[in-house]
Amino acid sequence: MVVLAVALSAARAGAQIDADSPAARFERANAAYEAGDYAAAIDDYTRVVEAGVVTPELYYNLGNAYFKDGGLGRAVLWYERARRLSPRDPDVRDNLDLTRSLLRDKQLVATEPRWRRALFAWHRDTTAGESVAAASALYVVLCLLGILFVFRESDAISRLYARLSILSPGRLLGLDKAQDLGLAMGLVLLVCGAFATSAVSKIRAEQARSQGVVVAEEVSVFSGPSRDASVQFKVHEGTLVSVRDARPGWVRVDLPGDLSGWVDETTLDRI
């Protein structure tokens, strides 16, 4: 009987643990969202985040819940966080675009020309980890091409090159083996450098948390880190800012259009 009681107690404890597990809370939050209880959904999603779970699905759903609850600032915040983890997710991108279209400070949303967006899609649509992996893989390829270049006169490498270089642009351009390999190495080096630069910029941004989103309804931007300083302009919830400097209780933010100033640090959340 004692053994049975202990077993039942353990089972109940296990059930309790399961009910409080991040997965169970995630499920409850989704159910609350579907029932239209967005406040409860926000509460449960937030608890899952506090448990240390890092997934784009969680951040995206939390952004949705804030959107439905009318909190556009925090919706932008969590969509941006989801985008960092899953930059190619069309749902995240679409909801972020829609939310931004509803913001009051639409003119402060940084816009890029279409050509530039297309040209730098590889940078925007990759995570820091993916950029590091791409740069690392290209670096390995670069070294292998270097080895091929070194042994280009050997019979084995010559045979290998003859097989691999059928579609080589250098060969089509009439370049010899050394020039062709040199051209390939140059191109790989260029792309590798680009991904490495992309990776470094993302890692720095993530470590410094240099981007933030205004979460207060309206925020006065002062000329200095003091309420006695003059108010230069006001920004509203959901506006994306770059954080450049910090003092106790204050952060300096930059905005598109060479706008800059100091805001109360509690009025924005870092991405």
Partner 1 sequence: MRVRLIRAAVLAACVVATTVRADEVAVRATVEPSTVEVGGQAVLTVVVEGKFRRGGSPELPPLPDFDVFESGTSQNFSFVNGQTQSSLTFHYVLSPRKEGAFRIEPIRYAVGDKVYTANAVTLDVVAGGAGIAPGPGPGAQDPGQKGSTPSSDESIFVAASVDRDTVFVNQQVTWSLGYYTDGRVELLRSPNYSPPEAEGFWVEDLPPQSKYYRTLHGRQYLVSEIKRGYFPTAPGTYRIGEARVDIVIDNINRRGVFDDFFSRRGGGFGEPRTLRTDPLEVVVLPLPSSGKPTGFNGAVASDLVVSTVADKQVVQVGEPINVSVEISGVGNMRTIAPPKLADLPQFKTYESGSSNDSFKKDYVVSGRRKFDFVVVPQVEGSFKIPAVRVPYFDPDLKLYQVAQSAEIPVEVKPGTPEDGRKVIYAGGGDDFEVINRDIRFIHAVPASLPIASRPFYTSPLFIALQALPMLLLGASAVVERRRRRLRSDVGFARASRARREAERKLSEAEHAFRDGNASEGFGRVHAAVFGYFADKMNAPVAGLTTDALEAYLRETHASDEVATSLKSVIDACDAARYAAGAASADNGRETAARARDALIALERGAR
Give me the residues that bind partner 1 (CB under 8 A), please. Answer: 22-23, 26-27, 30, 33-34, 48, 51-55, 57-58, 60-61, 64-65, 67-70, 72, 91, 94-95, 98-99, 102, 128-129, 132-133, 136, 139-140, 142-144, 146-147, 150-151, 199, 203, 218
Shortest distance, position 40 Cβ to partner 1, whole Å: 14
* 230 DSSP assignment: P
- Among residues 210 and 260, whose Cβ is nearest to partner 1? 210
- Among residues 58 and 221, whose Cβ is nearest to partner 1? 58
Q: Are strands 218-222 and 250-255 parallel, antiparallel or unpaired?
A: unpaired
- Among residues 65 and 251, whose Cβ is nearest to partner 1? 65
Cα angle 154, 159, 161 (rounded to 5 degrees) comes to 95
Shortest distance, position 64 Cβ to partner 1, whole Å: 5
What is the distance between the alpha carbons of residues 145 and 119, in angstroms, rounded to a whole number? 26
Residue 229, φ and ψ in degrees, nearest 5: -70, 160
Shortest distance, position 155 Cβ to partner 1, whole Å: 12
Q: Which residue has the tokens 């200095």?
A: 224
- Among residues 54 and 167, whose Cβ is nearest to partner 1? 54
Neighbouring C-beta atoms of residue 268, cutoff 10 Å: 25
- Among residues 6 and 140, whose Cβ is nearest to partner 1? 140
Residue 135: its H or E element: helix 128-150
Shortest distance, position 23 Cβ to partner 1, whole Å: 6
What is the distance between the alpha carbons of residues 95 and 213, in angstroms, rounded to a whole number? 16
